[in-house]
Every structure is written in structure tokens, then in C-alpha cells.
């Protein structure tokens, strides 16, 4: 599993997606939000999946 995040809508997740795929990630969680926000919902979802 992998997690990709960018801070603004102007930024792109393509490079992160490619790197995660190359690393062997079969499932990725993505989030577009400011770094100021502390509630990274997709990161929480990924961590919950890892616990299962």
C-alpha cells in the first residue's frame, strides 16, 4: 500500500503514483489538501487497512 499527497489542487500526483507503482504498491491512497490540515483522512484509511 502507498500514500500520495499534494498540498494544492495545482499540483499533480502523477510522479508519486508512478513511484509507488514502481515500488510495487498494489493499492494507493491519495489526498489533495494543505499541509496545515491535520486530519488526513486517506492516510487514516490506509493505516486502518494495514491493521486488518
Domain ranges of the chain: 2-51
Residues marked active site are found at 7
- Residue-wise pLDDT for 11-32, tens only, equals 999 999 999 999 999 989 888 8
pTM of the shown model: 0.66
43: confidence class by pLDDT, cuts 50, 70, 90: confident
pLDDT for residue 19: 97
Question: Within 13 Å, how many C-alpha atoms sit on residue 39's CB side?
Answer: 0
Amino acid at each position: 500500500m502507498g500514500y500520495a499527497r499534494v498540498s494544492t489542487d495545482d499540483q499533480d500526483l502523477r510522479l508519486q503514483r508512478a513511484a509507488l507503482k514502481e515500488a510495487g504498491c498494489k493499492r494507493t491512497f491519495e489526498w489533495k489538501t494543505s499541509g496545515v490540515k491535520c486530519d488526513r483522512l486517506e492516510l487514516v484509511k490506509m493505516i486502518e487497512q494495514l491493521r486488518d
